[in-house]
Structure 1
Amino acid sequence: MSGPLIPPDAVSAEDYRRHAQTRLSPEVWAWLEGAGADGLTRRWNREAFDAQALAPRILAEMEGAQTWLDFFGRSLPHPFLVAPMAHQRLAHPEGEAAMALGATAAGAAMVVSCQASRSFAGIARAAPGADLWLQLYLQPDRLASLDLAQRAAEAGFRGVLLTADAPVNGLRNEEARAGFRLPPEAASANLAGPLHAPSRAGPGESPVFKGMLDAAPTWRDLEALRSRIGLPLLVKGILHPADARRALDCGADGLVVSNHGGRVLDTAPASLAALPYVAAEVKGAVPILLDGGVRRGTDALKALALGATAVMVGRPMLHALTVGGASGVAHLLTILRAELETAMTLTGRRSLAEIDAGVLWPPKA
């Protein structure tokens, strides 16, 4: 893997964040780190992890400990997935190709945004053997969305995550203040049309309700998508347990508890806060991924204890890509895995299957 040298003091996700900020323009940084409105949900994502203490255990038998995960028929060496993030050539010239190469080197599955700045086929060629999934929005032209899924399948992608929580863009005040504009070299390489219908609002009419929501996806669209896609289909953006149940009834093969990194509806709850409610509704029927705020291996331990099967990591992976290219991505994933193994050792858990609410403080009677 080629790329810039990894700074010797890059030993955590926060270190990569610090270095990345010095290498990106203020406009791109506002895009990468930006959130909806006042950024409260983005902040709550971290505070939820910080507020949950762990319960250390001593003298545990750890012989044979491991972090392997069976994920839709493929064995993964750890439960960290790269979350879908658009326009990655903003962070690195090779964009998603370098991200996929680094993820594959570290044994991580990667979810590729439908707004990727590299073609699906090109990403797959850059990382032979990569475990790639497609993040899909339902476009106003539903046939275009199906075509995207078909092209991803032809490139060897293993499944689809339908993002359902952003029928319209969030109010990205930080981006607007910074004057961010997407440069041509980072534009979506796989889309022929817009993700969202343009507004047709006249004077005195709502710019959101007039036109933009005419083609917003519904549960009927999920059912239709399920009937036409042969790959595993997960629904991303679940926070409410009633939506979790409805998604299962529509045939979803898995769920992603996510608030879109706090980038859509500000003051939505932290993903970790919503996770136990969704897990209680699902009762183990399908895998659950947790997305939002993961920065440490201890975060993954807490998420798994509350019902997640695996976790997705977003912004920190773009930080690592910015700083170290593919090597930085692989390095950060290795750090996160080592942090998880350390936390498992100190809470007396030898496998992911053994991680339960007993690792959380206060201890249960």
Structure 2
Amino acid sequence: PARYRTLQRLHREVGQLITVYRGFYHKLITLTRLTACGCPTVRVAHDIAQWGVEQAKPNAMRKKQRYKTKNVTYFVQSSQRLEATTHPSTEKASLVFFLKENWTRKDQRLQATRWLLRWGASQLKRLKAKGSALPAAYSKRYGVVYQADPIVRAVDMLYTSTKLYSVTGDPAAQKRAQAFRAAALKMTTAQLVALKDPLLQFARALMREVDALEEGPNKKIAQYLRAVLHPQWVEALNPPYPDANSTVRLSFGRVLDYTATATGKLHRFVTDIAGLLKKHRGRYPFNVPKRFREAFVSRKGSRFVAPTINDIPVNFTTTLDTTGGNSGSPVLDARGKLIGLLFDGTPEAVVSDWQYQAKEQRSICVDIRYALYLASVEKALALLKELGVN
């Protein structure tokens, strides 16, 4: 009883932290997407701005692993490959998407977006001051059609105005941009500020917000979780469930129906194409392409039909104990034959890293017969031929 009371108290404390975390979560996620993975041009600009700060510090004083001396080569190479691995329209569309998604959350809007909108407005003001008709003057100056949406417009102007990235596709312009980035990576913060490059200015605005969150509320939560709650949680769970995460392992189980904890509804262990078509709505996420729907009409004659359900099986649920990173793992039957691929788990399976719950949780696997059937419908045989499979 004492152990469960401790766990209940810890649950309440974690819940309180989550409530605080929700207050800046969406802002932090947007910042992470922009500076880490979602928009390569912004990530490179952020690396340049951050490196201007970090290179002045002794290696041991650099808090982020990305900017340790041993890792510098990675973001330098990212800068060198930027034009070869990106497309201007994709970069602009990605940035617009993340900024507009964040802008819908009024309580967590980025200050960097506000800066970008002010900068965009100032550029328009300069054009207007010249007395030219705005749409025509805008198109002539920035090489794109004038957009009514201020975020889209500001992003268009940002990419046309920066020297860090070339949107023209001209090899000479791309080389100049690459040389400009290489030079910028050797500059101090003061020298970078003096460049007054808009993409760098935007990246510095993002950097300030990242630092404010990481050194403010996010740091307090992380420290409390690590120093206070985690040790208590581990002690209360003693003895812990054996941890094989991040290791090569073989899990075993059986195919079994699933009962949803939230609703109490019993779901058959297997789904089929008939069920897939029944859920078709013609829009995401229930949109079955027309060519598949047409092919499915004659599916009953396929060798992939399972006699037990008189249809081609799509997915099935099992009691396999799996975790994040197992997606794509082969599922074998008792004779060692490949019968499917793991790709997901039920909501109850989320806690399996800490405690396996055989009655509640299920892993979800795609039936290999469905994968092979789709390959035949799509005529996607190139990989099989390469592997020597007939």
- Superposition TM-score, scaled by structure 1 size: 0.25
Q: Which of structures 1 and 2 has the bigger CA Rg?
A: 2
Larger RCO, structures 1/2 (Cα 8 Å, 6+ apart): 1
- Superposition TM-score, scaled by structure 2 size: 0.23
* Greater share of residues in strand: 1
